[in-house]
Amino acid sequence: MIYLDNNATTPLHPEVKKKIISFLDKYGNPSSAHSIGREVRFYIEEARKEVASFFNCLPEEIIFTASGSEANNTILKSMVKCCSNSCSTESVHIISSSIEHPSVLNTLKCIEHQHVEVTYLPVDQYGMVNPDDVRKAIKKNTSLISIMFANNEIGTIQPIEEIGKIAKEYNIPFHTDAVQAVGKVKIDLSKMDFIDYLTLSGHKIYAPKGIGALYKRNGTKPICPLINGGHQEFSLRAGTENTIGIVALGEAFRQLKIEMDEEVARIKYLRDKLENGLKSKIENIKINGHPVHRLPGTLNVSFKNIEGESILLRLDLYGIAVSTGSACSTGSLEPSHVISAICDIPEIAHSSVRFSLGRENTEDEIDRTIDTVKEVVEFLRKISPIV
Amino acid sequence: MDGIGWNYSEKVKEHFFNPKNILTIPEEEYKADGIGYVGSPACGDMMKIYIKVKDNRIVDLKWKTFGCASAIGSTSMLSEMVTRNGGLTLEDAYKITPEDIIKELGGLPSNKIHCSVLGDKALREAINDYYRKTGQIDKIPSKEAKVVCECLNVTDEDIRMEVLEGVKDFETLQKRTKVATGCGKCKENVIKLLNEFVSQYYSCDVYTGEEKK
């Protein structure tokens, strides 16, 4: 199988896998005071240091969660009134974009019913938010600006430095969902002091599913936990820690520090090769996303006149795993909200396919993919009534 | 993308990977007796069906589609159903429903039913086209659909088709059809009808085309 769906999830890094196996019998509860608990506590704190060192931030600024979605929910839902004093008591305004991940968009939709007003900024044809729009959208009661670092479907990297600086100028906290950017774009949080909160996820960086984290800069407004209970994670996320997941995440970041620069360059080379190969061998295709400011491993292509799910399933038959933004694959009537936001021709979204590369992909796989995609597209175009 | 809806039957897979009766020659060369054309790429699927008629029977059927695996699989299936054993009569072909096709396919995931409704629609259009071209306009069945929303002229058949295309709630139905946006008197009836169709088509994960007992 040629796996080109690394934006959906990644295989375990072999070193992460080793780490998990070596840790399976360490069953202690890190909150226990005895040696069995203390040992596990030691390892999860080491993992926290590993994550912090990757981002050049403080370990206590890393709060482990069960997923990126949970981290996004935590920060967004802390904007609404609840039991805790730390929560806002007045009606608040949040600025976000129309192409955020569903864990941001659907959470925003939910809190809109709880005295939160949300401005969803549009994006340009490449999927980019205009920082001027952010400035124009700011109101007296704007309490948070949340813009994703890079988009999962088309890979467009947002001008978050400009946006973050505007937020800082107005003293508004800035959150970025960096699930897709981590490990692909350099993020140094000591330099990027405009980022107050950042979301990350383990399974996009060769750690297992079920572990993510929220970065919360020291000195920012206290947040209310999404999950109440014990004092775990600085009382910001209750529940006995996912110890194996945390240790695995720490190892994934340790590996990223070692190989990220080299891997990013290699993956970008392969992605460019795939893009150029498809462009030169197949007519009538459209690349979705920004030509330059795009994640190194992401290639989203619309193949005119044919439908995405058909392409996906035929590629699957030939042993190539990709994803699509067509309505038929989402189980809804609407195609991808991201492609729809960058192009008002619905068939572009219905015929879009995402190739997302990762550390296991080889040049030979890319060569085979180009030939196979050509064959599949030719077949489906032959049966298409559109000329 | 979510994980549901990928449990296609072997039959669907077979027809998707090796679709039968695709029109491979240019349209002009095929010289169809009737052509039916429904859907649009903007909606995510589009279907074109070409038929040849001899002695009131469909002796050959070819098709083309812009559509997903279910659309391809179900239209391929339909093409076999119509042409086997010397071909169905025009009257019998006219009566084929998505339910009949789905039954032959061994079921479709319920969220994919809406992808399978274009084939039979296009077939009826092709038959109508044949009737028109041969001067038998009187044979085109008039719609038996009942108007449920008089202000906006929405029929029960319109609502059924919307449900087959995936609509499950009144809000979405109203957005798409404008039903009950006039005087609003029909709203209660529309909701009742909508719920009936939804429970008919979506009450289990794999819709087999069998009547609920």
Mark A83-108 as b/e (b = at least 16 C-beta within 10 Å): eeeebbeeebbbbbbbbbbebbbebb
Residues A76 and A114 in one domain: yes
Residues A206 and A125 in one domain: yes
Answer whether residue A387 is part of any domain.
Answer: no
Average of per-residue pLDDT across A232-257:
97
Average of per-residue pLDDT across A198-221:
97
Question: Could you list the residue range(s) of the whole structural domain that residue A242 is in?
Answer: 14-255
Residues A236 and A265 in one domain: no
Catalytic residues of A: 328
Q: Which position among B115, B149, B183, B204 bears the catalytic label? A: B115
Q: What is the DSSP string of B62-78?
A: EEEEE--HHHHHHHHHH
Give the range with max mean pLDDT: A81-85, A187-191, B121-125, B169-173: A187-191
Contact at CB, A328 and B22, closer than 8 angstroms: no
Task: Output A182 or B2, whichever has higher pLDDT.
Answer: A182
- Scanning A98-127 for CB atoms below 8 A from B yields none
Stated as kind and residue range, the H or E segment containing A119 is: strand A116-121
Predicted TM-score (pTM) of the model is: 0.88
State the CB neighbour count (10 A cutoff) for residue A197.
Answer: 26
Residue with tokens 């769906």: A5
pLDDT at B2: 36
- Of A237, A255, A273, which residue constitutes the final position of a domain? A255
What whole-number distance in Å separates Cα of residue B41 and Cα of residue B38?
10
pLDDT in tens, A270-307: 999 999 999 999 999 999 999 999 999 999 999 999 99
Answer whether residue A160 is part of any domain.
Answer: yes
- Residue A11, judged by CB atoms within 10 A of its CB (0-12, 13-18, 19+), counts as middle
What are the structural domain ranges in chain B? 10-139, 147-207
Structural domain count, chain A: 2
pLDDT in tens, A298-307: 999 999 999 9
Task: Output B14 or A97, whichever has higher pLDDT.
Answer: A97
Q: What is the CATH number of the domain that holds A41?
A: 3.40.640.10
Task: Output A144 or A224, whichever has higher pLDDT.
Answer: A144
Average of per-residue pLDDT across A14-38:
97
Tell me which architecture the domain covering B147-207 has in CATH: Orthogonal Bundle (1.10)
B4 interaction partners in chain A (CB closer than 8 Å) = 331
Residue B60 dihedral angles phi and psi, to the nearest 5°: -150, 145
Residues A271 and A202 in one domain: no
Average of per-residue pLDDT across A333-346:
86
Residues A266 and A195 in one domain: no
Residues A70 and A168 in one domain: yes
Share of chain A above pLDDT 70, in %: 96
Q: What is the CATH number of the domain that holds A265?
A: 3.90.1150.10
Closest CA–CA distance from residue B110 to any residue of chain A (Å) = 10
pLDDT at A82: 67
How many inter-chain contacts (A to B, CB under 8 Å) are there? Answer: 83
What whole-number distance in Å separates Cα of residue A123 and Cα of residue A342?
7
B32 interaction partners in chain A (CB closer than 8 Å) = none
Q: Does the beta carbon of A13 lie under 8 angstroms from any beta carbon of chain B? A: no
Residues A239 and A342 in one domain: no
Nearest to B183 by CA among B159, B148, B145: B148
Residues A330 and A375 in one domain: yes
What whole-number distance in Å separates Cα of residue B166 and Cα of residue B110?
9
- Of A255, A281, A299, which residue constitutes the final position of a domain? A255
Average of per-residue pLDDT across A13-40:
97
Residues A46 and A139 in one domain: yes
What whole-number distance in Å separates Cα of residue A218 and Cα of residue A57?
10
Residues A226 and A363 in one domain: no
pLDDT at B184: 81
Residues A172 and A291 in one domain: no
Contact at CB, A305 and B66, closer than 8 angstroms: yes
- Of A240, A255, A270, which residue constitutes the final position of a domain? A255
pLDDT at A247: 98
Residues A244 and A359 in one domain: no
pLDDT in tens, A98-156: 999 999 999 999 999 988 999 999 999 999 999 999 999 999 999 999 999 999 999 99
A330 interaction partners in chain B (CB closer than 8 Å) = 1-2
pLDDT at B56: 95
Residue A334 dihedral angles phi and psi, to the nearest 5°: -105, 140
pLDDT means per 10 residues, chain B with 213 residues, are: 56 92 94 91 85 96 92 93 95 92 86 78 94 90 76 82 83 86 85 85 60 42
Query: In the CATH hierarchy, which top-level class contains the domain B10-139?
Result: alpha beta
Mean pLDDT, chain A, as a whole number?
A: 95
Using alpha carbons, list the distances in angstroms from residue A123 to A154, A291, A346. Answer: 12, 15, 16
Which residue is closest to A7 within chain B, CA to CA?
Answer: B1
Answer whether residue A240 is part of any domain.
Answer: yes
Low-confidence winner among A54-58, A92-96, A113-117, B86-90 (lowest mean pLDDT): A113-117
A314 interaction partners in chain B (CB closer than 8 Å) = 17
- Residue A229, judged by CB atoms within 10 A of its CB (0-12, 13-18, 19+), counts as exposed
